[in-house]
Amino acid sequence: MPVVTLPDGSQRRFDHPVTVDEVAGGIGPGLRKAALAARVNGRLVDTSYVIAEDASLAIVTDKDPDGLEVIRHSTAHLLAQAVKELFPEAQVTIGPVIEDGFYYDFAYERPFTPEDLEAIEAKMTELARADQKVTRRVMARDEAVKFFKGLGELYKAEIIAGIPDKDEISLYGQGNWVDLCRGPHVPSTGKLKAFKLTKVAGAYWRGDSRNEMLQRIYGTAWPDKKQLDEYLHRLEEAEKRDHRRIGKDLDLFHLQEEAPGAVFWHPRGWTVFQSLISYMRERQNAAGYQEVSAPELMDVTLWQQSGHLEKFGENMFLTQTPDQRLYAIKPMNCPGHVQIFKHGLRSYRELPVRLAEFGKVHRYEPSGALHGLMRVRAFTQDDGHVFVTEDQITSESVAITQLILDIYRDFGFEDVEIKYADRPPKRVGSDAIWDRAEAALQAASSAAGIEYTLNKGEGAFYGPKLEFVLRDAIGRDWQCGTLQVDLNMPERLGAYYIDEHSAKRTPVMLHRAIFGSLERFFAILLEHHAGKLPAWLSPVQAVVLSITERQEEYVRRVTETLKNQGFRVESDLRNEKVGFKIREHTLRRVPYLLVAGDKEVAAKLLSVRTRSGKDLGTMVPETFAERLRVELTSRGREVLEG
């Protein structure tokens, strides 16, 4: 009879097979009530699961990540049940858990409306309050196909028909509704207390554009209303901070159908973009990098040698010339940098060789995946590649890590998580080479004093990597920078240096990106700062405003003086009320508004205020210029403005 071992090491003995629910009840009524599922010998199961042999057991509640996933999975089923009760002719397909929620795809004769969503959500609430028991049963595959065909659920029958007949087919039921599912699920619908349907979108059956279009209803679910409300507030904040909206409001960029996934930069947006490049160029120069530029179009044989064609071929843009020569538009900068390293004989005394490029790359992304500046087909990488000896890996990796973290602080990102990604299933190079590369990166991480979490199997196809994940102002995570140790590509492309014994040696190649994609980093910055970029990045750093036409000459003179000192300053001489002007430039997120009325002109002063409405008083233009200069030099660390 089973002995059940709990997480604290204690054991419970039973003289008969026992369910998870019964074990939880034996521990205490509170745990039994809170139990959503369990892990038995590491496997996630329902609370109705029967333990017949010795096993380890961990009860899953809504405090556990597994519990949240079970809640969301079960809420997807609740959504499908509600749709079927309200729209019996609808057919259900699949309903997985996704980040922060779930979705379910339906085949229905007409599009669901916002009013439909309200009715569906109300029905879900009614079904949850009914506290219907959730039950599980198992069928043979052919029997399950027949069962769902009998219900008119042809999509479900098609899914089951594609499952190997040796696999177990499990069905979950609640009330009068049954669905195909592996589970597990909550014990009853009453456990589902906080959910919200968010939107409807189109989706092709099985993700294939040749198939029929379905309707995908998205939703979110949380353990309680407080967490749901917090999430909905984050969604609201994210909507306000959407970089596409800010880009339009501030006239920074646009995208259009004639160039899908490519950006049309407007003057103000291009100013910020170039400021990012200037900043990074300054930091790289100080860190000993040499800036280079490699061709965007190179013979496809180079990409075959590097391994990129095999790994990324379907995402590369290829073109054939009239003489039948096949070229690829570069999706990455690394092979080009290897060619530059190879040009001329290299001595070990030259290493490390640090090369950097603001390289324009192109990758094919499906149209449905494109998203503003976040997901594009043409983008600019701040790529760096450092060629080192194996003995230099640790010291150079420590320097790169410190540089990355320091740069993120300059942009207002103090909360950075680091993930270590080891060898992926599909890779180049021997296990022995990977062992060396992984050990080297782990040693470098230890020397840098950084803590990381494991992102198993997510390394680059040529080497392990560290991923730098930024947390923004509203708690979202963005993976930007990477550091990769590569013992494969230099050898594949024939790179070598001459060591102290006059022998040829293959260098180690450290791949390093900090912004990652400049376009994407630009978008992250806009959303992190809600468009209120720090003064050193703002396309317009200050506007000088007149109150009446009597101040025009003074405003022009002050504007010209500030511009000649290198500041990005504009004047506003329009015949509008000054309050209107202030409001307009505040909405444009201009950091400083400089107002000149008759009193200011007479005393050769400016009335200075920030975009947050803080009044900094009056000061002579020279004093403001010095204040702004300090702020720009220190990148905002010494001068606090709204």
Selecting among 39, 181, 334, 377, the annotated active-site residue is 334
Whichever domain contains 602, its CATH number is: 3.40.50.800
Domain end call among 487, 503, 528: 528
Selecting among 383, 422, 472, 572, the annotated active-site residue is 383
Query: Mean pLDDT throughout 599-612?
Result: 95
Residue 303 lies in a domain: no
On whether both 504 and 619 belong to a single domain, the answer is: no
On whether both 421 and 277 belong to a single domain, the answer is: yes
On whether both 184 and 117 belong to a single domain, the answer is: yes
Residue 583 lies in a domain: yes
pLDDT surpasses 90 at 624 = yes
Question: In percent, how much of the chain has pLDDT > 70?
Answer: 99
List, for residues 170-198, the tens digit of each pLDDT value.
999 999 899 998 889 999 999 999 999 99
Band of residue 448 on the pLDDT scale cut at 50, 70, 90? confident
Q: What is the pLDDT of residue 505?
A: 94
CA 474 vs CA 110, 246, 338, 477, 522: distances in Å? 37, 16, 40, 9, 17
Q: How many Cα atoms within 13 Å fall on the side-chain side of residue 4? A: 25
Report the C-alpha gap between 476 and 489 in whole angstroms. 34
The reply to whether 465 belongs to the active site is yes
The reply to whether 385 belongs to the active site is yes
Selecting among 73, 84, 427, 511, the annotated active-site residue is 511
Which 8-state DSSP code applies to residue 425? Answer: S
Strand 453-454 to 465-471 pairing:
unpaired
Band of residue 18 on the pLDDT scale cut at 50, 70, 90? very high
Residue 207 lies in a domain: yes
Domain end call among 500, 528, 556: 528
pLDDT surpasses 90 at 546 = yes
Residue 559 lies in a domain: yes
List, for residues 286-328, the tens digit of each pLDDT value.
999 999 999 999 999 999 988 888 878 888 999 988 988 999 9
Q: Domain count for the chain, please give it.
A: 4
Q: What is the pLDDT of residue 639?
A: 41
Report the C-alpha gap between 279 and 288 in whole angstroms. 15
> 235: Cβ–Cβ under 8 A, 6 or more apart, which residues?
198
Domain end call among 528, 562, 587: 528
On whether both 492 and 607 belong to a single domain, the answer is: no
Report the C-alpha gap between 148 and 385 in whole angstroms. 56
Calculate the average pLDDT of the chain: 92
Selecting among 81, 91, 174, 381, the annotated active-site residue is 381
Band of residue 441 on the pLDDT scale cut at 50, 70, 90? confident
- Give 420's strand partners: 454, 466
Whichever domain contains 406, its CATH number is: 3.30.930.10
On whether both 498 and 445 belong to a single domain, the answer is: yes
Q: What is the pLDDT of residue 163?
A: 87
Q: How many Cα atoms within 13 Å fall on the side-chain side of residue 46? A: 21
Lowest mean pLDDT among 208-212, 231-235, 255-259, 506-510: 208-212
Q: Which helix (H) or strand (E) holds 432?
A: helix 431-448
The reply to whether 383 belongs to the active site is yes
- Give 384's strand partners: 356, 512
On whether both 398 and 465 belong to a single domain, the answer is: yes
Q: What is the pLDDT of residue 120?
A: 97
List, for residues 208-241, the tens digit of each pLDDT value.
778 888 999 999 999 999 999 999 998 888 888 9
Query: Mean pLDDT throughout 61-73?
Result: 94
Nearest to 151, CA basis, from 176, 134, 121, 170? 176
pLDDT surpasses 90 at 206 = no
Report the C-alpha gap between 532 and 369 in whole angstroms. 27
Q: What is the pLDDT of residue 433?
A: 86
CA 157 distance to own-chain centroid = 35
Q: What is the pLDDT of residue 313?
A: 84
Residue 337 lies in a domain: no
Query: Mean pLDDT throughout 549-576?
Result: 95
Whichever domain contains 107, its CATH number is: 3.30.980.10
pLDDT surpasses 70 at 642 = no
Report the C-alpha gap between 149 and 145 in whole angstroms. 6
The reply to whether 504 belongs to the active site is no
On whether both 105 and 49 belong to a single domain, the answer is: no
On whether both 128 and 52 belong to a single domain, the answer is: no
Band of residue 638 on the pLDDT scale cut at 50, 70, 90? very low
pLDDT surpasses 80 at 14 = yes
Selecting among 123, 216, 385, 529, the annotated active-site residue is 385
Residue 212 lies in a domain: yes
The 3-class SS string of 195-255 reads: EEEEEEEEEEHHHCCCCCEEEEEEEEEECCHHHHHHHHHHHHHHHHCCHHHHHHHCCCEEC
On whether both 390 and 516 belong to a single domain, the answer is: yes
Band of residue 636 on the pLDDT scale cut at 50, 70, 90? low
On whether both 83 and 34 belong to a single domain, the answer is: no
CA 226 vs CA 33, 64, 170, 304, 490: distances in Å? 20, 17, 34, 53, 53
Residue 82 lies in a domain: yes
On whether both 53 and 74 belong to a single domain, the answer is: no
Q: What is the pLDDT of residue 641?
A: 40
Selecting among 39, 363, 568, 627, the annotated active-site residue is 363
CA 504 distance to own-chain centroid = 42
Selecting among 72, 123, 465, 520, the annotated active-site residue is 465
pLDDT surpasses 90 at 615 = yes
Band of residue 436 on the pLDDT scale cut at 50, 70, 90? confident
On whether both 358 and 489 belong to a single domain, the answer is: yes
243, 527 Cβ separation under 8 angstroms: yes
Band of residue 255 on the pLDDT scale cut at 50, 70, 90? very high
The reply to whether 381 belongs to the active site is yes
List, for residues 108-167, the tens digit of each pLDDT value.
999 999 999 999 999 999 999 999 999 999 988 888 889 999 888 899 999 898 888 777
Residue span of the structural domain in which 93 resides? 65-229
Residue 537 lies in a domain: no
